[in-house]
Amino acid sequence: MLKYERSILILKRLEQLYPETPIPLNSKSTFQLLIAVLLSAQCTDVRVNKVTPELFSTGGDPLGMSRLSVGSIYNIIRPCGLAPQKSRAISKLSKIIVKKYKEEVPDDLNALEQLPGVGHKTASVVMSQGFGHPAFPVDTHIHRLAQRWGLSRGRNVIETERDLKKIFPKSSWSKLHLQIIFYGREFCTARGCDGRVCDICQTCYPKRRKPFKANKA
């Protein structure tokens, strides 16, 4: 099966399974989405959704968050991984948004990437889910599945993102990003599928006999 044929099959199958793609992180504004995505690094969405209500009750906008001390932020987000670094980043980026961007999250990928604690993946998620721009954020899970499905041989998430953008139509990027994440969590997990177990892996590579080893992100 050619790569193009696999991509069509994957699109159709994921659309059947996940016709709706609700954003898994709870937020009421682009700023809250930015903070939630930042917190989700090395942390589950479920855990993030447990800590953000308290955090946003006093720091639900850039001005309110900028007035909280780093210690106060840390005490709330402590259950999340890398809490010390994230606390400092949240405090700093809130102050920057207040002073430099007049309390509005910048609608610009490069500007987002310049904020403390905000990498390319986080910025891409905000551009896609917060502002509605076509983007294809790639994390380690999407990186793994893209390789299992023969869509990329990228050595890192940046190369995999580049490859996926070439394969799939721009109009599908934002939704497909979430669909792949949902499928990876439900059917093609890191330990539950070795490239021969789930429906898509079996369909794309019916003759695969050995466990597939992806390049590490």
- Catalytic residue numbers? 121, 139
CA distances from 124 to 12, 17, 137 (A): 24, 24, 5
Q: Which tokens go with 44?
A: 């589950």
Backbone angles phi, psi at 197, to 5 degrees: -105, -55
96 close to 115: Cβ distance less than 8 angstroms: yes
Q: In angstroms, how far apart are the furthest CA atoms of the chain?
A: 59
Residue type present at position 80: C
38, 64, 92, 124, 197 from 84: Cα distances, Å: 13, 19, 13, 24, 39
